[in-house]
Amino acid sequence: MNLGSLPIIAIVAVAVVMFLASSVRILREYERGVVYTLGRFSGVSGPGLFLLIPVVQQMVKVDIRTRVHDVPAQDVISRDNVSVKVNAVIYYRVVDTGKAINQVENFMAATSQLAQTTLRSVLGQHELDQMLSERTKLNTDIRAILDGQTEAWGIKVANVEIKHVDISESMVRAIAKQAEAERIRRAKVINAEGESQAALQLLEAAKTLAKEPRALELRYLSAMQDIAGDRTNTILFPLPLDLFSAFGKGRGTA
């Protein structure tokens, strides 16, 4: 081997190593690479090892794991004109990396802005009581709207959760008064129903006693027994009306 050719071989070897080093790409299981050839989208690569042609091809790496995004608190005016602050959290992931890079400039910022506007729009169509008591339904409605609009970006919205609905102190007091009034109303209704049922039972008992006079005497004796059990009471024994009627009949015959 000619000694003069050694520097050339070394240069070629270094060039080959640099070429391979710049062309070899390794992506993790949760990563995908959007590949462009001379500026044109040519496909998605990964995970694992693959080669890129330096200068000719470029790659944009995308994480396809589920992302958790905290939606900032939004000022919402409910349908019954109550001003509240609502914040939420959304869970989404990239299902089509080509669309996520090519169809929107920044899919994370776009999803965040869309979540904020959708949150205000959906909650503004409901009253305050619905915001507080029907969160599951509202979460489902918001998720469906977001998922439908982000589908063109290759984004799948998995879940939406409303975290807090903050209202003013005056509104908190008003809600507390309303709840107290509702409890009083229910208590009165239950009491009225109890008295109505008791009256019906007493009416049935009176009808039964009217059909059998001896039953009234047994009830009278039972009441006397209950009174006699307490020695601190002074007991007055009323005379039966039948005694007076019998006495009157006796005088008449005399």
SS3 helix, strand, coil % of the chain, rounded to 5? 55, 25, 20
**pLDDT score of 200:** 82
pLDDT of residue 224: 64
- Chain centroid to Cα 50, Å, comes to 45
Give how far Cα 181 sits from Cα of 127, 130, 170, 175, 185, Å: 20, 19, 17, 10, 6
Q: What pLDDT is attached to residue 143?
A: 94
pLDDT at 112: 93
Query: Which distant-in-sequence residues (6+ apart) come within 8 Å of 64 by Cβ?
Result: 30, 31, 32, 93, 94, 95, 97
Going residue by residue through the chain, which has 254 residues, state the pLDDT in tens, using 9 for 90 and above. 554 556 777 777 777 677 777 788 889 999 999 999 998 999 998 898 888 888 888 999 999 999 999 999 888 888 888 888 999 999 999 999 999 999 999 999 999 999 999 999 999 898 888 888 888 999 999 999 999 999 999 999 999 999 888 887 766 676 667 777 878 888 888 888 888 888 888 777 777 766 766 666 666 666 666 666 666 666 665 655 554 455 455 554 44
| H-assigned helices in 31-96 | none
